[in-house]
Structure 1
């Protein structure tokens, strides 16, 4: 009987089939897992790319690492919503977003992973990790930039104004329908106008733009001085008596400066200082940077004269006036005949009112106005090519966003 059993071939196919089915089923399961993981990885990559591009439209250099991470997670979660709950939870936990670079080009780097449970229970989960990188490059050079995101007439060109900014852009980050407005008899010529929102009154013959028509609904412009750190306070220096004073670089505190004020070249830190020359007064200084800290205020009226230029080298190259973040005191530059101002006039949280004059209009200056809002009155001509005068510092309008492979 034993011999017949061993010699029998009946049932061999079933045994062979059973043996073959084990690796076959494993192969089928692996194929299912591989295809599913590939689909998940593709969705993961698309979600990272989309999140990176979305961050690129909102990013500002002043954002903290946690703000970039949170912004990225919001966009990433919206694009990964098609994944099942377990996979989405794991991908969100693994998500990382960071920013690097400088004014010439910023980079947004993103990464995450997805874990797909194996088809066969008890087998290890399938993993996929993906990365994305987005490059942000600034647009054309800007001479005027309003940073407020929602203000009406964030840049206002009104009255008997003649502003010439050939080769330079007037820009606003406001999404208001009249973010940049021209009214009255104002005449404007510029390389272009760029705004997140809309414009008003910028049509021929009162507005001449090299780009043809205003560029509306654009991406926001970068804050060109977001990475500038004011110097540390030093001991408060005394102010000489008299209507004519000459100051040396340093820190000045709780004073009102009036009369004829001359500044030696260097850096000035004003703490709760009011600079207001008064009738027939003046403010002059070549190669100077004035930091308006705390509640310091600068007011130059029409019967006063101002002649200021920035240093062309060092950490504050190109910066003439820097009003600290959080200082909302209005900044008024309304110099009389003979006044010339160049360099960056920066007040990110305050309104700047700038009145040009015939002297500025005749020779042009390397002026860059960057404020929360900006009102321009009078005549002024601004040069676009100022690399040397501004120590290589520049402001730009809009941004270009691309996936960096």
Structure 2
């Protein structure tokens, strides 16, 4: 009976057509499913690429050379996840994997590289999923050369130019990472001449005739400037050295570690690296602080306080791991750094206090000579007369500082 049914189906032309159609439809349906998978995977890959591009650019605005690899990845993942969720959190949940983010490069250009994979379940049940891998690379380039930088992200008047100060920084930028409306503030009869002013926020009082900027008007709402010494690590402590007896309060110190002292009078530092732990340098009336080729690390609350009637004459080493650095106040040290030198005072090199305010007062002698000086503080207040040079590559041991940053997609 079954044999007879098969023979009748074979002789029936309509049966032959149905069988042929069914057989022909199978590869067509597989092809259509494949096209749907291909188009869907292509769409998913486009969403993945857009999210990676956005994440890379966002990391570029926040990146600091001192960030660890894990911090870079965590920051990138935060931005990436937010972008993928905005695209369609439910659709892409569980399908994205292998996210990575890394930073490379040096002060001339940093690169942020991000990548991830996405997989799409096949339209055909049981078939392998369709994977896609995408990556993005963002290039960070420094802006113009800077001479003053305030790192506080929110402080009002993070850079303050007040009183009768006359600050000359031809071809050099004054920068502030604060987003306050008056991140750089000029007041009173203060005069400032600079290549430009660059801020994350706004500025106040920087118009002619009191402010003469080569760039014309301040550059407001810019990306934050790099911390130029973010990757510098202070040296390890050594044994605390005794302070030599001061003959009439005149001291000559050798390089090393000094602990829990207050030094006053006339202090001379031999060339080398000094680690001050809980120590204060306060020369006092008519005192002085002198050192050529020195780097002073202020640790555990150590501070330097130079008053107006005291003389300071400091310069950094021009080679070695701390080339160009004169004073380095350790991260977490909030002791105010005051450098109000009197007549004949000369300071050059990087003065660095990332978590403390810097108060700097120049004088007519400084203004006449022009110093290879770079001020980097949580906030910076400048008074008096100061002339800062920009052609300082040799004097600063090839260490530079730049305002803002340029961020572009490199890939």
Q: Distance in 2 between matches of 1:4 and 1:197?
A: 88
Counterpart residue number, 1:251:
257
For 2:11, which of 3, 8, 13 is the aligned residue? Answer: 8
Q: Distance in 1 between matches of 2:82 and 2:375?
A: 38
**Residue 371 of structure 1, CA deviation:** 0.3
Q: Residue 313 of structure 1: which of 303, 308, 319 is its match?
A: 319
CA distance in 2, matches of 1:231, 1:316: 10
- Quote how far apart the aligned CAs of 1:8 are: 2.8
Aligned to 1:197, the other structure's residue is in SS state coil
What CA distance in whole angstroms lies between the structure 2 residues aligned with 1:269 and 1:89? 52
Q: Which residue of 2 aligns with 1:183?
A: 187
Q: Deviations over 1:105-130 (max 9, x none)?
A: 11111011111111122111111010
Post-superposition offset of 1:177: 0.3
1:120 alignment partner, one of 124, 130, 150:
124
Which residue of 105, 108, 115 maps to 1:104?
108
Aligned Cα root-mean-square deviation (Å): 1.5
Work out whether 1:85 is the aligned partner of 2:90.
Answer: yes
Q: Does 1:160 align with 2:164?
A: yes
Hey, what does 1:198 align to over in structure 2?
202
Contact 2:353-2:377 within 8 A present in 1 as well = yes
- 1:331 matched to which residue of 2? 337
Give the 3-state SS of the residue equivalent to 1:80 in structure 2: helix
In 2, the alpha carbon distance for the partners of 1:100 and 1:74 equals 20
- Does residue 381 of the first structure (1) align with residue 387 of the second (2)? yes
CA distance in 2, matches of 1:385, 1:150: 31
Question: 2:369 aligned to 346, 363, 370, which one?
Answer: 363
Q: Name the CA distance, whole Å, in 1 between partners of 2:106 and 2:95.
A: 32
Q: Secondary structure at the match of 1:52?
A: helix
- For residue 357 of structure 2, what is the aligned residue in structure 1? 351
1:68 equivalent in alignment to 2:69: no
Q: How far did 1:84 drift?
A: 5.0
Measured after TM superposition, the shift of residue 65 of structure 1 is 2.5
Q: Secondary structure at the match of 1:95?
A: strand
> Which stretch shows the higher mean deviation, 4-13 or 242-251?
4-13
Counterpart for residue 283 of structure 2: 277
Distance 1:108 1:6 in 2: 68
Report the count of equivalent residues: 404
Q: Residue 84 and residue 218 in structure 1: after superposition, are their counterparts in 2 closer, same or farther (change >3 A)? A: closer
Verify: 1:141 aligned to 2:154, yes or no. Answer: no
Is the 2:84–2:92 Cα contact (8 Å) retained in structure 1? no
Aligned-residue offset at 1:316: 0.3
Tell me whether 203-212 or 256-265 shows the greater mean CA deviation: 256-265
Residues in 2 aligned to 1:190 and 1:322: alpha-carbon distance in whole angstroms: 25
Instruction: Check 1:185–1:99 CA distance in 2 against 1; reply closer, same or farther (3 A cut).
Output: same
Give the alignment's TM-score, normalised by structure 1: 0.97
Displacement of 1:7 in angstroms is 7.6
Consecutive unaligned residues of structure 1, counting only runs of 5 or more, are none
Aligned partner of 1:392 in structure 2 is: 398
* Structure 2 residue 106 is the aligned partner of structure 1 residue 130: no
**What residue in structure 2 maps to residue 58 of structure 1?**
62
Check conservation: 2:266, 2:288, Cα contact below 8 A: yes
Give the 3-state SS of the residue equivalent to 1:306 in structure 2.
Answer: strand
- Aligned pairs (5 A) from 1:193-272: 193-242=197-246, 243-272=249-278
> For 1:29 and 1:255, how far apart are their aligned partners in 2?
80
Note if contact 2:140-2:408 (Cα within 8 Å) is conserved in structure 1.
yes
Partners of 1:88 and 1:281 in 2: CA distance: 68
Secondary structure of the structure 2 residue equivalent to 1:21? helix
- Residue 26 of structure 2 corresponds to which residue in structure 1? 22
Greater shift in the superposed pair: 1-10 or 203-212 = 1-10
Q: Structure 2 CA distance, aligned partners of 1:30 and 1:83?
A: 23
Instruction: Measure, in 1, the Cα distance between the counterparts of 2:156 and 2:70.
Output: 30
CA distance in 2, matches of 1:132, 1:111: 6
Extract unaligned runs of 5+ from structure 2. Answer: none
Contact 2:95 2:120 in 1 (8 A): no
- Corresponding residue SS for 1:23: helix
For residue 100 of structure 1, report the CA deviation from its aligned partner: 1.9
